[in-house]
Amino acid sequence: MRDRAKEFAEHSATDKALSSVAYFADPYSSWQRGSNENLNCLVRQFIPKSRPLSTVSDKELAMIQDRLNNRPRKRLVYKTPLEVFSHEFHRVALRA
């Protein structure tokens, strides 16, 4: 079952135009939205809601990405997302 909100009505056209992929939370998987909302809150520490995203530079986005990827998370047993990703990437890469 897809989200029927207006903002998602043309997601496939947007994906095609931007060469991107839209991801949706699975039905009955509220924890997936919680993670998304938590990340939104972390990003808002750098970019307030009142600030238009068009004013955020690529350099600033890279800085925010770097800070958030290197910030320890309680949910990850105080490891950083980068540490967890790197560990999982190398674990899977060694299997191939």
- Contacts of 27-31 with C-beta under 8 Å, sequence gap 24+, read 27/1
pLDDT digits (tens, 9 = 90+) for 39-81: 889 999 999 999 999 999 999 999 999 999 999 999 899 999 9
pLDDT digits (tens, 9 = 90+) for 14-35: 888 888 888 888 878 877 887 7
pTM of the model: 0.63
Q: How confident is the model at residue 1 (pLDDT cuts 50, 70, 90)?
A: very low
Q: How far apart are CA 15 and CA 75, in angstroms?
A: 30
Mean pLDDT of the chain: 86
